[in-house]
Amino acid sequence: MTAARSTFSGAISFGASAFGLLMLSPIIVLLALAVLLGSGRPILFRQRRVGRNGRPFDLLKFRTMRNGLRGKPITAGGDGRVTRVGRVLRRYKLDELPQLWNVVRGEMSLVGPRPEIPELVDLDDPMWRAVLEVRPGITDLATLIYRNEEEILAAAENPERYYRAVVLPAKLRLNLEYLAVRSWRTDLKIVLLSAWYSLRPAAFDGARVRELFT
C-alpha cells in the first residue's frame, strides 16, 4: 500500500485531530497556563517549516525556550535556552499538541515525515522531493527511532553539523523506507507507540522500535 492510500493522511487524520483538540482542550489550557506563568508570552512558538510539495507553513508548538533568545536551529540536550516548564513539555512531547491544529488546517497529517526548516531542505535532492510528496506529520517512524535525538546531539562535538551530516540523512532514508510500505495499520502502530512513549519516556527503546517495523 502506498503512502497516498494511507487512511491516516486523509479524513481520519482530520477527524482524529479535531476530536483530540476537543477532548484534550482542558489539558491544552492547563499547559498554556503553565507556559504563561512560567515564562510569560507568547504561549505558542511559530516556526516556518517546509510542507507538502515544498509549500511553507507555520508549525505550532508550545514555547519551551526563553523569550527573545536566538540561537542555532538545532536543540541539543542541556540547551540553556530551554525553560523549566519547557524541559517537562519536551520530555513528554507535550509541546507538540498545538500541531493538532496544523492537521485540522490541512497542513499536516497525524503520521508523516517531520517537516524541517527551509535551511535544512534541499529541493533539488531527489530524496527530499520524494519525502515532500506527502503531508508532513506530527509523528513518524524516524521521529520514534530518534525520540532521544536531543541526547544524541548533546554528545556530538558540533550538534548542528552532526544533525546535518548524520541524523537528517538517516531520517530521510527511514522516511522513504516507511513510505514504501506504510498502511493504515502501520500508521496506527506509529500513533500508539508515540502516545505510549510520551506517557512513559523512560521506557523508550529505539532498537525495539526498529524491530517492530522490520
Write out pLDDT tens, residues 105-158: 999 999 999 999 999 999 999 999 999 999 999 999 999 999 999 999 999 999
Average pLDDT, the chain: 93
Locate all alpha helices (DSSP H) within 117-167, ordered by sequence.
126-131, 141-145, 149-154, 159-162
Range(s) of the domain holding residue 206: 3-212
Domains in the chain: how many in total? 1
Write out pLDDT tens, residues 15-57: 999 999 999 999 999 999 999 999 999 999 999 999 999 999 9
Nearest to 138 by CA among 25, 31, 21: 21
> pTM (2 decimals)?
0.93
CB burial string 117-144: b at 16+ within 10 A, e below: eeebbeeeeeebebbbebbbbbbbbbbb
For the record, the C-alpha cell of 206 comes out as 529505539
Nearest to 60 by CA among 88, 91, 21: 21
Rounded to whole angstroms, the Cα distance separating 174 from 73 reads 22
Terminal C-alpha separation, the chain: 16
Cβ atoms of 112 and 150 within 8 Å: the answer is: no
